[in-house]
Amino acid sequence: MRLTTKGRFAVTAMIDLALRSSCGPVTLAAISERQNISLSYLEQLFGKLRRAELVDSIRGPGGGYCLAREIADVSVADIIMAVDEPIDATQCGGKENCLEDRQCMTHELWSSLNATIYQFLASVTLGELVEQQRQKMESSCNDTKVILDKRPAAAV
C-alpha cells in the first residue's frame, strides 16, 4: 500500500476540523496554520472531501468548513478514498496483468493485504481519532497543572 501525504493530510485536517467544529465553521487557513499544511493543498483536498459529502462549506464572513456527517459515521477509509488515495499494494493496480498478460505469483498475497488494510481503515472512525486527541490534550493539560502545582511557594 502506498499511503502518501494526500491521505495523511486529509485525515489530519479532518481530525482538526472535527475537534473545532462545535465552535462553528473552521477556515482552511486556521487548519493550515495549526497543522503546517499548505493552504492551496488543503483547498484541493477539501474540494474532494466536499464532493464526497464528508464536509460542507459555508461561504461569506464567518464561513469555512464543517462536517457533513457525524464523526462516528466517517471512517478513515472514507476520508482516504475521498481524496483518491489508492489502497493498493499490487504492481498492476488490481488489473491482474502484473506480468504483461497474467498475474504474478504474489498477486493474491498483495490483493489480500489490500483487503486487510481497507478493512482496518474502515473500522477506525473519525470519532475514535478525535477522542484520542482529546485525551492527549487533557493529559497534556493535567501534566502542566501537576508541574505548576508542585512549584515551591513564593517567599513572602
Q: Which of 114, 84, 82 is nearest to 96 (CA)?
A: 114
The answer for residues whose C-beta is within 8 angstroms of residue 114's C-beta and 6 or more apart is: 1, 87, 88, 89, 90, 94
Same domain flag for 30 and 62 = yes
Q: Which of 65, 33, 69 is nearest to 53 (CA)?
A: 69
Same domain flag for 93 and 73 = no
- Residue 135 resides in a domain: no
For residue 1, the model assigns a pLDDT of 53
Same domain flag for 71 and 93 = no
Residue 30 near residue 37 (C-beta atoms within 8 A): no
Measured distance CA(101)–CA(128) in Å, rounded: 43
Same domain flag for 22 and 62 = yes
- Residue 103 resides in a domain: yes
Same domain flag for 32 and 80 = yes
Give the count of domains, the chain: 2
Measured distance CA(126)–CA(76) in Å, rounded: 6
Residue 102, beta-bridge partner list? 99
- Residue 138 resides in a domain: no
Measured distance CA(26)–CA(107) in Å, rounded: 43
For residue 149, the model assigns a pLDDT of 56
Same domain flag for 30 and 68 = yes
Same domain flag for 3 and 77 = yes
Same domain flag for 58 and 23 = yes
Same domain flag for 62 and 105 = no
Residue 131: all three cell numbers together: 477522542
Q: Which domain holds residue 100?
A: 88-124
- Residue 146 resides in a domain: no
Sign of CA dihedral 87, 89, 94, 100: positive
Measured distance CA(136)–CA(113) in Å, rounded: 31
For residue 156, the model assigns a pLDDT of 44
Cell numbers 475514535 correspond to: 128
pTM of the model: 0.82
Measured distance CA(13)–CA(16) in Å, rounded: 5
For the chain, 156 residues long, the average pLDDT of each consecutive 10-residue run is: 82 96 92 96 96 94 93 96 81 73 82 90 96 86 57 52
| CATH number of the CATH domain containing 9 | 1.10.10.10
